[in-house]
Structure 1
Amino acid sequence: MSTLAVAKKDFLDVRRAKIVWFVGALYVAFMALLVYFGQNGRPDPTVLNALWNLTAVGAMFIPLIALVTAYLAIAGERESGGIKYMLSIPNSRRDVVLGKFLTRTAIVSASIAVAFLIGGALTLAWYPSPEMDTFGIMTALTVLYALTYVAVAIGISAATASRSRAMGGSIAFFFITSVLNVFGPLQLAIDYLVNDLAGLDVSMYQIMFVQSLVSPTAAYVNSTGLAFPDGFRTIPPDLPWFLQGEAMVVVMIAWLVVPLALGIWQFERVDLG
């Protein structure tokens, strides 16, 4: 078997997981509701406000879709003993990790694409200026953001031997990089560490960059400058180059590649007994 063969078999298994489709359906529902309420009862509605609110919802909700879809991909097989059968076919350990990643990537991407397709259709029907270019950019950024958490979940799953450890690692990562980021303590903690404890004179923009390096969620939110006009809502018009949307896309790509590579490296060294 190969990476694609592993992905095909895994897809047949994971498509039966009702929780995966339930969480994806919730995101579709959020999309439809935000687009609806963005125009309901307003004389001159703009879909930009609905998409901005969706960014805030997605910053918390997209990681849940990705982590729920992927965190048991390999750890569940190891705990059940199925991983030994999979490797005896034979498959390389890298084939297993990459195959699982491809499957979970396809499922998460499809959920997000369906949500944006429905949102786009409703926008064309309800809004005088549908802003389809912004819709397209936000779709691409949101898919990339989701895949960073898929890669992290696959990496954690490959590095752990049980469901409980994979779940604990995924919850901890979500709490630190998403919850603490959205509600502010992550930025305050970085500021305290580099300026108060280390005695450095680090600007707020530099702290925001460090925040993006340690949180895919921060990188995603900062990348939305590619979709929205300068100065829209809380997007400053004069961000330094390292906080521009293009730089944030590079950071998210790194978040996609590095955890996956580390997961493969760890999985190849572990003794499966």
Structure 2
Amino acid sequence: MKWHYIAKKDFEDAIRSKVFLILIGIFILIVAGGVYAVSLIPEGFFREEIPLTSDFAVIALQSIFIVFVPLIALVAVFSSIAGERDSNSLRVLLSFPYTRLDVVLGKFIGRALVVTIPILIGFIVATFVIIGLYEELAIGNYLIFIALTILLAWSFIGIGIGFSAAAKTRTMAIGLAAGVYLLFLIFWDIIYLLIHYVIKGGVPGIGQWPEWLVWIDSVNPISAFGYLSSKYIGLEQFHEFANPLMLTGKETLPFYLTEPALILYLLLWMIVPVILGYIYFQKSDIS
């Protein structure tokens, strides 16, 4: 397998096209800018006399990231394979001793680097802002949030690569990426609440959610990220992502609603679409 050559070339191409620098600028603006903005909020506005720690910055970043990280990841990858198919450069690439699996894996790794490194740079810059303006850097929670952010990005990179491999044209890949983004960000909640409304005749309140409804919500990668970051960092009392225990009102949960299961869902979104996209790509005619 020679996927690493494709990953290297894909990463180098991104740097030459200035996409990499643009992403670095975006994440510095989002992460460091968000952290700085939180430091300007008056003490009595939402935290009363609680010390200003990095956890409060994470509250703001969580809200921002559920919108922008999936979008940036999908935009970075949707044309990675479909775009080359449109331009016929994919035929040229496959005329060299590369397999289609090399192409899919190489594109996934290359684009993952293109997105992950700017995320890390954004957090590094934000760390200096926190050290300079905040009372405490809760390093453990901060590192957990960084890891979960990268996992969220990889999940949508996997989804985007899968669509790009399966799509016959760049336009189709754009449509699929836009559709899945809107589905997970907006329509997923509407759909499962409508299902509950039809079955039960109403919308459940906190502590009244049936386990099956929480599960439908949890398999959404955006919700899984929200639940995990809220749970591990202790943000349930501040944010919209109440943990499954609070939603169901129960003392214990089945495995499929626990934190390991939520991590598994994110990993599956990263892996399964890539596999399915490769299977479709392997069978497709690119001539």
Same fold (TM over 0.5): yes
Which residue does 1:227 correspond to in 2? 232
Separation in structure 1 between the aligned mates of residue 212 and residue 17 of structure 2, nearest angstrom: 42
2:250 maps to none
Q: CA deviation at 1:191?
A: 2.6
1:268 equivalenced with 2:282 (yes/no): yes
From 57, 63, 67, give the equivalent of 2:70.
63
CA distance in 2, matches of 1:166, 1:110: 24
Aligned to 1:37: 37
Q: Is the contact made by 2:229 and 2:235 (CA closer than 8 Å) also made in structure 1?
A: no
Structure 1, unpaired ranges of 5+: 197-201
- Can you list the C-alpha shifts for 1:77-97, whole angstroms capped at 9, x where unaligned? 101101111111111000000
Is the CA contact (8 Å cut-off) linking 2:39 and 2:134 kept in structure 1? yes
Which segment is superposed worse, 100-109 or 119-128? 119-128
Which residue number in structure 1 is paired with residue 153 of structure 2? 146
CA change 1:208–1:95 in 2 (3 A) is: same
| 2:96 counterpart of 1:89 | yes
Alignment CA distance shift 1:151-1:195 (3 Å)? farther
State how far apart, in whole Å, the 1-side matches of 2:93 and 2:269 are: 27
Query: What's 1:120 paired with?
Result: 127
Q: Secondary structure at the match of 2:13?
A: helix
Could you say what secondary structure the match of 2:16 adopts?
A: coil
1:28 and 1:115 in contact (8 A); partners too: yes
- The Cα shift of 1:27 comes to 2.8
Amino acid aligned to 2:284: V
Structure 2 CA distance for aligned equivalents of residues 27 and 205 of structure 1: 36
Task: Give, in angstroms, the shift of residue 195 of structure 1.
Answer: 4.9
**Residue identity (%):** 28
- Comparing 17-26 with 203-212, greater Cα deviation is found at 17-26
**What does residue 46 of structure 2 align with?**
none
Q: Is the 8 A contact 1:20 1:68 kept in 2?
A: no
252-261 vs 231-240, greater mean Cα deviation:
231-240
- Name the aligned partner's letter for residue 47 of structure 1: S
Once the two structures are TM-superposed, the CA of residue 46 in structure 1 deviates from its matched residue by 2.6
Q: CA deviation at 1:190?
A: 4.2
CA contact (8 A) 1:159 1:267 kept: yes
Query: Pick from 210, 215, 218: which aligns with 1:209?
Result: 215
Aligned residue identity for 2:61? L
Instruction: Give 1:138 deviation, angstroms.
Output: 0.3
Correspondence for 2:263 among 249, 256, 271: 249
Aligned partners of 1:108 and 1:18: how far apart in 2? 13
Deviations 1:3-42 (A, max 9, x none): 0011112222222344564355223212122211222243
Answer yes or no: is the 8 Å Cα contact 2:24–2:121 preserved in 1: no
* Secondary structure class of the residue paired with 2:245: coil
State the distance in 2 between where 1:138 and 1:224 align.
Answer: 6
**2: distance between equivalents of 1:118 and 1:187?**
39
Q: What whole-Å deviation, never above 9, does each CA across 1:114-137 have from its counterpart, x for those lacking one?
A: 111111221122212211111100
User: Which residue number in structure 1 is paired with residue 187 of structure 2?
Assistant: 180
Residues 210 and 264 (structure 1), Cα distance of their counterparts in 2 relative to 1, 3 Å cut:
same
User: Shift in Å at residue 158 of structure 1?
Assistant: 0.3
The one-letter code matched in structure 2 to 1:208 is V
> d(CA) in 2 for partners of 1:237 and 1:253?
19
- Structure 2: which amino acid aligns with 1:104? R
Which of 170, 189, 192 is the aligned partner of 2:194? 189
Q: State the alpha-carbon separation in 1 of the partners of residues 15 and 9 from structure 2.
A: 10
Deviations 1:206-237 (A, max 9, x none): 31211222x21111111114431274324348
Query: 2:38–2:60: 8 Å Cα contact kept in structure 1?
Result: no
Length-normalised TM-score, structure 2: 0.84
Per the alignment, residue 178 of structure 2 pairs with 171
On the 8 A contact 1:222/1:244 being kept in 2, the answer is no
Residue ranges of structure 2 left out of the alignment (5+ in a row): 44-48, 202-207, 247-252
Conserved? CA contact 2:82–2:165, under 8 Å: yes
Distance across 1 between alignment mates of 2:198 and 2:89: 44
The aligned residue for residue 142 of structure 2 is 135
Whole-angstrom distance in 1 between the partners of 2:99 and 2:245: 48
TM-score (norm 1): 0.88
